[in-house]
Structure 1
């Protein structure tokens, strides 16, 4: 997952998405990143210009929160290799040396071990559990839920490791190697940390989504091909849709709505990616950046919270021309959606559930038409 601020002159996120690489608009500021704890195996800063030593190391503490035990942090750019570049950076040797020393001290307080430094690159590794930490920090966050981060301000405290029984045990649970990780029972579920989800219900969810995706492929044979490279699942649940795709031609941005059960940690433990989001707000991306949108139950979820036309207009904004949308919801909800899309230059088709017409849940398939303004609306000097 890549993120960068919105930039009119150098739209890095837009460029990444147009290349088919996962990215969102975002900043490391005063609010927590919209990701769960222990989400990433590796974090990288390549001349990202984040002042790591500012605010008592708060930004590095946020990286620590989203980094898995045993994960790596890679830093390239200032102040690494300051001896070579201090004149280019127009900073004094003393200033850069002090900054690097401060970063080293912060990393040690976070229970990170420096593994490598050569040339312009330095690499740290987060310990596997708190029993491996040579020094115990007293500045531990008191919150019991390090995954509850939506619109919450960051604090200068260290996210505690989950409990580990032995010095060599990975805190939070051992993950399988990918792609076995995709269908193995995630540690959060195995430990009973997700309400009303068991290993059995998780396996059943996988079976259901394999059946759903097979039905989608019968409807649209381009699913899983390079035609739909950038995919977003608006209500990802346990990540079953993305896992069932099993296509190296596509990647899925799994969105866990902030009003739904918090399952994003499970999605990351499956080796998938995703983000928290409230669909009553605009999504953190540029226009026309997704090829396929999957919306299962999302309009039922947001009934009486925000207007469906506002959600549909945001979907239209982020969908590329000739991109597709697959809705899965109750027939009443889909009929309302279909009325609105009739005025959006979308072609739609309502279809029965794969188990037959007696099932109240239906499928609505839509394609955004490619169109431009008519010559009658032109403002050119030729008119």
Structure 2
């Protein structure tokens, strides 16, 4: 029986498909290769990292320099479980990466090392995202069910008040019927907002930076110069298939939240909102792995979200403001979910970042 002939696959393309970060070093601890997962994990460029010493290319691994030199000299590898890596310039340790590090001696043109870094934070994030989505879907179904149950009697109450108003137009109780009608209309509007958008996304090719520029103009007009808006865009991001209006609505809901977080606050620096875009490779969204994804960050330097609230902010009717409805973030999450994406939030005093993740193409 003749076996089929398989196309020859380049080793580099196999390594680029892994979620484990792979780095190869020569005897001088210079980077000779790193895969896409390493670029994503450490936010480094392969083109700029190759040929640089490891501690220059990836400063996160600065503290491992002595052990790696010893591994080269002795030809003995090692494994470090749950290694905490600090981001450069983060002396307080707010931004730690947790990885399992495996170092294996290898022979290339001379002695070298292969570093494998399995990001544990990524697995924790995927698990947290799946839980967040499950909770969001459950709460949305509950809210939609309640909203439909409220809509029917509301219509009856409003209709009865209108009949009374027509039946007794000169009655001294006219103002009461008008209060009933006005409040019934207000509740109807609230119910409609709880039900959320009633149409599917009308997808077309959209430039995410054009969307963010539109949002920037809106919030700058609303803010009347009370804060600065900084832009940090990745120009290499191509257009994506999305509903432009829904992307604007979701981004605007988050940006308005950032505006409200800055209003009336006294912080060391001037109030600032940052709009940032990045490409992510081999990225998992809601349990589905995508070869390429777009990350949109909306960051503010306000006092942050309380730890007790961080897990609840995407639930409907949850708000810390007396005048808030608690619907802006749940609606934004729903709109992004309909695009196969997800919104995450990370917050500490002085920095709150809402990240929108959108797949750039079909799942890998």
Smaller-chain TM-score bracket? under 0.3
TM-score, normalised relative to structure 2: 0.21
- Could you say which structure has the higher helix fraction? 2
